[in-house]
Structure 1
Amino acid sequence: MSIRTSQFRFQIAERSVGSRTGLLLLRWALVVIFLWFGAMKFTHYEATGISPFIVNSPIMGWLNSAFGVQGASDVIGLLELSTAVALIIGSIQPFFSALGAAMSAATYLITLTFMLSTPGVAEATAGGFPAISALPGQFLLKDLVLLAASLTLLLGSLRTSHGDARR
């Protein structure tokens, strides 16, 4: 099942070439993460927890000013829940397979920029960067794997006009 758009054909990642089981596991692991983290954004606990990342981010710093700490967290929560929904629909609709994976990849690209903008990532007592702190450094570094999972799902969702899986 695929939909042709421009030079790309969208497909459900699990129905592409390669390891279907692996893509299936990646999709549903990302769904769980986005549902859980997205729902948590509506709590005061999570809103105050992510505020230092947001306030120091050149990409997202405006959110706290525009919506306040809880409002910024709510906006992010809506985006994360929307990503989960796109990933879920993507298990049956090709376009949403690519959209959900792209939204997921964008999320982790942004959170990885926090490595550069959040104070305390480099561990001064260990000599500074590349030594990173447990919090927030190692907490953020795990998003590299989630970015790779998102990109793998995205590439599995796209085919060139010749029908080959994008690599």
Structure 2
Amino acid sequence: MDKFILILANSQSHFINVIRISIFIVMVWIGGLKAFQYEADGIVPFVANSPVMSFFYNKKAPEYTTYKNPEGKTVQNNIDWHKENGTYIFSYGLGTVIVLIGTLTLLGIWFKKIGLIGGLLTFGMSLVTLSFLITTPEVYVPNLGGDFPTPQFGFPYLSGAGRLVLKDVIMLAAGLICASDCAQQIIKSKNSISVNRAKF
């Protein structure tokens, strides 16, 4: 048991690299999906209701509620509305940014200054995502009626979309850990250079 604990204690730097790889996988996968219609449609409620991002769209919330495409189904009238809204153009751009952030974070394994930027951007992106818990009505269970004696809608009853957003708390912490690790390595490198110069 003591040997196992010692192995864990001495493996932290490797585990931080596992975090970087995990962030990369999530970012590239999700960012890549932004090129597809169903994923682009799916982020509309988040973007349209966000005071930080809604200006990217041409239509105002809650107009999008009339033009939702269920996952796995496409209605041409809805597709046309999303094209006018700028849904797909924005999604392509967002997907590219997400993939780039994941790549920068992964590169922190070898290039600490680049990894520092990637970690901070991961943290910042997660903050924006978590703000959807405040701005997006769809993150909470709607009041659809029912006979249950205790109301189970609104805060704190997260919908599927809300549960997905809340997981970014983990991504936020992971980004900070990666950024902090890169910052430590940068400081160590600078100190090592200073010591070597002092010897001469």
Q: TM-score, normalised by structure 1?
A: 0.78
Counterpart in the other structure of 1:111: 129
Counterpart in the other structure of 2:159: 134
Counterpart in the other structure of 1:144: 169
CA distance in 2 between partners of 1:134 and 1:94 (Å): 38
Secondary structure of 1:108's partner?
helix
Aligned residues: 146
* Residue among 42, 50, 71 paired with 1:57: 50
- 1:48-101 per-position Cα deviation (integer Å, ceiling 9, x unaligned): 011111101111111123970001111111101111221232221111110111
For structure 1, the 5+ residue unaligned runs are 1-16
CA distance in 2 between partners of 1:87 and 1:162 (Å): 18
Q: TM-score, normalised by structure 2?
A: 0.66
Q: 1:32-111 counterparts in 2 under 5 A? A: 32-65=25-58, 68-111=86-129
Amino acid at match of 1:42: A
For structure 2, the 5+ residue unaligned runs are 1-9, 60-84, 144-150, 189-200
CA distance in 1 between partners of 2:180 and 2:100 (Å): 20
Secondary structure of 1:126's partner?
coil
Write out the 4+ residue segments of structure 1 that deviate beyond 6 Å after TM superposition: none
* Residue among 152, 173, 180 paired with 1:155: 180
Amino acid at match of 1:89: L
Amino acid at match of 1:65: N
Higher relative contact order (CA 8 A, sep 6+): 1
Q: 1:11-30 counterparts in 2 under 5 A? A: 19-30=12-23
More strand by share: 1
CA distance in 2 between partners of 1:157 and 1:151 (Å): 10
Kindly indicate whether the alpha-carbon contact (under 8 Å) linking 2:108 and 2:182 is maintained by their aligned counterparts in 1.
Answer: no
Which of structures 1 and 2 has the bigger CA Rg?
A: 2
Amino acid at match of 2:103: V
